[in-house]
Structure 1
Amino acid sequence: MAAPLPENEMQRVIELSEFDLDYSSLQENFKDLAKLAAKVAGTNISLVNMIDSFTQWTVTNYGLDLEQMPREDSVCQYTIVSDQFFEVKDLSADDRFKDKFYVKDDPNLRYYFGVPLQTSNGIQLGALCVLDTIGKEISPEKVEMLKIIADEIVNRLMVIRVINGLKNRVKEAKETQKKVAHDIRGPLSGIVGLAQIISEQGNENKLDEVLQLVSMIQKGGHSLLELADEILSSEKKIDNPSQEVGSNEYNLLIFKEKLEKLFAPQAVNKKINLRFLTDSKTEDIHFSKNKLLQITGNLISNAIKFTPVSGKITVELSIVITRTKQLSIKVSDTGSGMDQDTIHQILYGEQESTQGTSGEKGYGFGLMLVKHLIIKLHGTLNIESEPDKGTTFSVLLPIV
């Protein structure tokens, strides 16, 4: 049976990407609400799930140790096409779910009730769901309470989004501050140098008044230079490896660790060899983490989808330093590859989804989202591929 798809799916995944969530670090943000939902419903399990193009990410769990699953296996994919709620009285008796691993095997789930996590503009980001190994009855009053909890989850997500946005704006302000300091430092150096020359000439001519004026120019120029140097001192924090990485920043090592934690389980599940490589010469340089998990994560999930069992995927992370700094992300796989027409459609058109190497269902929006985010960040995307010879996606993003 074909999986449901929201009519506004592209808008939905773009909206989710704007929250720029690190799905592995949100457990504490919603732990109290997940527990409350289970208590209200009288169930043993409650989950807060976000659903992107490929994966259902369990950002908070209560009663079940679960972090992620393929979107095509989830029940919550049906909840996000519902305006109110989605309920399954017996998962084992429903053809859509009876063969899923969580029904056939431990924990042998039977009951499901999900409420969509809907923003004020009607976008369904994911779902709050309660589950149990036995049947349940949830009264209309409890349904309304679960909807209130779901609204509070969305409110907290909005707070996280605002905070992330403010952090990015603060970083941009610091970069502007440094640019202004650089811009004023050059002319000031010239003023001080010129004043020094005039001062030397003035000593020979004994022009006391001129010398006094020039001395004031020199002192004022030096003071402004010291101010510029004070502004620029923040630059040392960024370039000095001994400084801690900011809460809204990564370096290559931290970025690699995040990707390994999020996507290694998907590769292991399909018996794919997933490797992450970093450039040791540039691995301590700091850069904004803005949208990086969304871009790289979708490329890795796409590679897993099209790489056969026992295949290989390599993710290479480095900083390219020329006149500017750029973050380089390369995702290479030994998968099914694609022809030039398909590459052209991805880069310049809208590519329809296809089945993965193990029959995984595709939704056709992962690579479209990647392209959208790269363009928004003023980066570039290149694709090298041949049918049956694998694919390499190469991304370059400016580091301001």
Structure 2
Amino acid sequence: MPNAPIPKNEFERIIDLSEYDLDYSALEDNFKDLAKLAANVAGTKISLVNLIDSFTQWSISNHGLPLDQMPREDSVCQYTIMDEHPFEVADLSADDRFKDKTYVTDDPNLRYYYGLPLTTSEGHNIGALCVLDKEVKNISPEKTELLKIIANEIVSRLKALKVINDLRGQLRYADETKKKVAHDIRGPLGGIIGLAQIISEQGNNSQIDEVLEFINLIQKSGRSILELADEILTAEETKAPGADEFNLVLLKDKLEKLYQPQALNKNIRFTVFISPETATVPFSKNKLLQIIGNLVSNAMKFTPESGQVRVSLTLKTEKDTPVLLQINVSDSGVGMSDQAIEKILDGTASSTDGTSGENGYGFGLALVKHLISGLNGTMHIISKPGEGATFEVSLPQIAS
């Protein structure tokens, strides 16, 4: 297997992605119109909107191929995020990097790939918009320009959702931020109004009739986000758990939905346990999916087949003490030495490969440490070579 391509700004890239604080399983409705539009513009049967973190490619929206996730090292889009240019593979079956992948050798027997990076305003490629087909296609310069517009719109919507989620949390504490909602949301959404006109004009010039049919879908999606903003502006109180909160039951269900497929793919037993006495007490979900997700993915990477990964979640709400969320992620994997633990905690750990040949990227645990520090939390690692590893995380919660 060729060495995994890693962007020069990889750590900054995954930090930028983590700042969006996304639930990868709950974004389909926000982008399905753009995924469908991309396929029709390109004339392909399949299109995907993919975000790529340290370990996984998450398909947050798809058209023509029911795909939710795949290991980063198996994806084509890992090459698309390497620079600012589109990445094209005319025949995947003739390319040594992809010819043995299951999506090439088996159903859906893909051949053609064309991807554009999703670039944030900070210049980081957090994912890719890609179109695929079983037959070789030709992407003309006019179609490329239309696809670039769609890719930019995807990033604009991600930014709009980030603003909405950030302000939802703030509105629980300060009514005056309602004014900021109107200002901050209108900026990212400004492009939605002009997008239909731009695509319509270029579509007419290029005689791409299919494009025109989906203009109303973009407008409808834009209106839905604006309606969401209006809902926030008129909301008086957030019911528990609110839009910016989890409880242990919800967090458990979310982790199982996101990471059970990875466990099944490697034949690993994945279990999540919660403390029943505080199972329905709300707490902030700020960065939790990013922190726990990276720990779980890392644990699965270093756990052999038939092994197990266990997550334990406890919320301590003792009187006269701060509410504390405790997260334990343990595995039956290869374990690590005291020296390796020290390197992880001081941020100097190097990348290593997983038990089934998964490529290592060396930044997942560094990101976890960065996020935990930003939340004033702590992390401890207990491990010995050959005896698995346990990551213990404590995160103080601000009282509502």
Would the TM-score normalized by the shorter structure come out above 0.5?
Answer: yes
Superimposed CA distance per residue, residues 122-151 of structure 1 (whole angstroms, 9 cap, x where no aligned partner) = 110100000001110110110010000000
Q: For residue 23 of structure 1, what is the amino acid of its counterpart?
A: Y
1:12 aligned onto 2:13 = yes
Deviation of the 1:170 alpha carbon: 2.3
* 2:246 pairs with 1:245: no
Structure 1 counterpart of 2:105: 104
Task: Look up the match of 2:312.
Answer: 316
Distance in 2 between residues matched to 1:172 and 1:283, nearest whole Å: 24
| One-letter amino acid of the counterpart of residue 388, structure 1 | G
Q: Match for residue 266 of structure 1? A: 262
Is residue 77–residue 115 contact of structure 2 (8 Å, CA) maintained in 1? yes
Paired residues for 1:47-86 under 5 Å: 47-86=48-87
Q: What is the match of residue 147 of structure 1?
A: 148
Distance of 1:349 and 1:20 partners within structure 2: 22
User: CA deviation digits over 1:215-272, x for unaligned, max 9?
Assistant: xxxxxxxxxxxxxxxxxxxxxx99xxxx642111100000001100000000000000
Query: Quick check: 2:169–2:244 contact (8 Å CA) kept in 1?
Result: yes
Contact 2:240 2:282 in 1 (8 A): no
Deviation at 1:348, TM superposition (A): 1.6
2:285 aligned with 1:289: yes
Does residue 257 (structure 1) correspond to residue 249 (structure 2)? The answer is no
Of 317, 340, 359, which aligns to 2:338?
A: 340
Report if aligned partners of 1:168, 1:290 keep a CA contact under 8 Å in 2.
no
Q: SS where residue 36 of structure 1 aligns?
A: helix
How far apart are the structure 2 equivalents of 1:343 and 1:16? Answer: 25
1:382 maps to amino acid:
H
CA distance in structure 1 between the partners assigned to 2:295 and 2:110 by the alignment: 32
Of 367, 370, 378, the residue aligned with 1:369 is 367
User: AA paired with 2:98?
Assistant: F
Q: How far apart are the structure 2 equivalents of 1:104 and 1:249?
A: 43
Structure 1, unaligned runs of 5 or more = 175-236
Aligned residue in 2 for 1:351: 349
* Cα 1:172–1:359 shift into 2, 3 Å: farther
The answer to whether residue 379 in structure 2 is matched with residue 381 in structure 1 is: yes
Report if aligned partners of 1:307, 1:336 keep a CA contact under 8 Å in 2: yes
Q: Is the 8 A contact 2:111 2:134 kept in 1?
A: yes
Larger radius of gyration: 1
Which amino acid is the alignment partner of residue 303 of structure 2?
A: T
Counterpart of 1:306 (choices 302, 307, 313) is 302
Identity in percent: 60
Alpha-carbon offset, residue 173 of structure 1: 4.0
- How many positions carry a matched residue from both structures? 334
Q: What is the CA distance between 1:82 and its match in structure 2? A: 2.4
Per-residue deviation, residues 6-62 of structure 1 (Å, max 9, x unmatched): 100000000000000000000000010000000000000000000000000000000
Distance in 1 between the 2:388 and 2:173 partners? 38
8 Å Cα contact 2:103-2:110 kept in structure 1: yes
Cα deviations by residue, 1:42-87 (Å, 9 ceiling, x for unpaired): 0000000000000000000000000000000000000001212000
Structure 2: gaps (5+ residues): 176-236
Residues 173 and 378 of structure 1, relative CA distance in 2, 3 Å threshold: farther
Question: Could you tell me how far apart the structure 2 residues matched to 1:20 and 1:121 are?
Answer: 16
Letter in 2 for 1:104: T
Q: How far off its partner does 1:172 sit?
A: 4.6
Report the CA distance between 1:285 and its aligned residue.
0.6
Paired position in structure 2 for 1:278: 274
Distance 2:347 2:49 in 1: 34
1:116 is matched with 117
Cα distance between partner residues in 1 of 2:325 and 2:174:
21
Aligned to 2:276, what secondary structure does the other structure show? coil
Further displaced range: 10-19 or 322-331: 322-331
1:321 to partner: Cα distance: 2.8
2:94 partner letter = A
- Report matched runs for 1:119-198 at 5 Å: 119-173=120-174
Aligned match of 1:208: none
